[in-house]
Amino acid sequence: MNIDDIKLVGVMGGGVMGGGIAQSFIAAGFSAIVRDLNDDLIEKTRASMIDGRFGLKGAVDRGKMSQADYDATVARLSFTQDVGDLAACDLIIEAVPENLELKKTVFKELDAIVKKDAIFATNTSGFAISDVNKAVSRRDRFIGFHWFSPAFIMKPIEIIYAPETSQETIDTMVAITKKMGKAPILVKDAPGKYGFVGNRIYFAMVAEARKVLEEGIASAEDIDEVMKLGYNWPVGPLGMTRGARGGWQ
Ligand SMILES: NC(=O)c1ccc[n+]([C@@H]2O[C@H](COP(=O)([O-])OP(=O)(O)OC[C@H]3O[C@@H](n4cnc5c(N)ncnc54)[C@H](O)[C@@H]3O)[C@@H](O)[C@H]2O)c1
């Protein structure tokens, strides 16, 4: 599969990340179908993709997208509760909760029904790709595709390749990432370590900040203040964890 073959993208899990991921794909001209478990979850995701703080209507209001583009973009989006509706997808992005067994179960289910040459990608925050890919028969077409939150806004995507991942799969995912206006960063899978590049360094930094706090060296506010003023960070290491759902992992 190369980028010209990728027309329909399936997103497993329309939560915080899945919604923003699907939004990025439809805005870049791909069609997307999002699978979640019930009407309420689907409605919540649809509302966030359209009317939310980082939604498509906001892009129109800010003059970043024309009304005609908006109409065409929204027409490329669909939702389902039936996993069978993802069978014809060319690419699947998995964004279900961070639970290794759940991810493996989901991929096993997908492997049985989705067309054989489709690429599978996981948005795991840190599980080894060579572990998750054991759930599928197409290990050469399986890759890590780690976004940052909010997905529609943040630029980097870590593209994590395992020894089994084919060069063609890597090249296709790099091309897709660029087509979405994002920045692909190639990362080698590191079994036994959690977090690829971003989360591994981030978690180490937060752990050290917590130690400094526990040792009574400075208050939480002062620790954050040092890092903000001294290193020009937009937010300190302890303050950042308070806004975790919206801006890290
Ligand atoms: N939130 C972040 O900042 C962030 C950033 C990067 C990566 N991630 C990773 O992305 C993944 C998703 O995280 P999230 O924050 O979007 O979680 P979330 O809980 O907001 O969304 C997960 C969605 O998956 C759905 N789901 C559960 N089982 C499913 C199934 N079998 N089929 C289809 N949908 C199913 C849930 O109903 C839910 O809507 C996790 O692996 C997480 O570690 C999260």
| SS3 assignment, position 65 | coil
Q: Which residues, judged by CB distance below 6 Å to any ligand atom, belong to the binding site of ligand 1?
A: 12-18, 35-37, 41, 95-98, 106, 123-125, 147, 149, 245, 248-249
Structure tokens at 146: 């780690």
User: What average pLDDT does this structure show over 62-89?
Assistant: 97
Q: Which residue has the tokens 């509302």?
A: 47
- Examine the pLDDT at 193 and tell me if it is beyond 90: yes
- Examine the pLDDT at 249 and tell me if it is beyond 70: no
User: What average pLDDT does this structure show over 99-104?
Assistant: 98
Cα-based distances in Å from 244 to 3, 210, 227: 33, 15, 17
- Examine the pLDDT at 244 and tell me if it is beyond 60: no
Mean pLDDT computed over every residue of the chain: 95
pLDDT of residue 242: 60
Helix ranges (DSSP H) in the chain: 16-27, 39-51, 56-61, 67-75, 100-113, 129-132, 167-179, 198-214, 220-231, 237-242, 244-247
User: What average pLDDT does this structure show over 147-167?
Assistant: 97
pLDDT of residue 240: 77
- Domain boundaries defined on the chain: 3-188, 198-247
24 part of the active site: no
How many angstroms separate the alpha carbon of residue 15 from the centre of ligand 1?
5
DSSP line for 45-56: HHHHHHHSTTSH
How many whole angstroms from its chain centre is CA 20?
8
DSSP line for 115-163: -TT-EEEE--SS--HHHHGGG-S-GGGEEEEEE-SSTTT--EEEEEE-T
Per DSSP, 95 falls in state -
What is the torsional sign of CA 136, 140, 142, 146?
A: positive
User: What average pLDDT does this structure show over 155-180?
Assistant: 98
User: What average pLDDT does this structure show over 229-235?
Assistant: 95
How many angstroms separate the alpha carbon of residue 215 from the centre of ligand 1?
35
Torsion of CA 123, 96, 6, 66, to 10 degrees: -90
- Examine the pLDDT at 246 and tell me if it is beyond 60: no
- Examine the pLDDT at 28 and tell me if it is beyond 90: yes
Question: Which of 48, 96, 103, 108 best tests ligand 1's pocket when mutated (most atoms within 8 Å of CB)?
Answer: 96
**Which secondary structure element, helix H or strand E, spans residue 120, and what is its range?**
strand 119-122
pTM of the full predicted structure? 0.95
- Examine the pLDDT at 119 and tell me if it is beyond 70: yes
Please list the residues that pair with 147 across neighbouring strands: 157
The second-level CATH assignment, the architecture, of 3-188 is 3-Layer(aba) Sandwich (3.40)
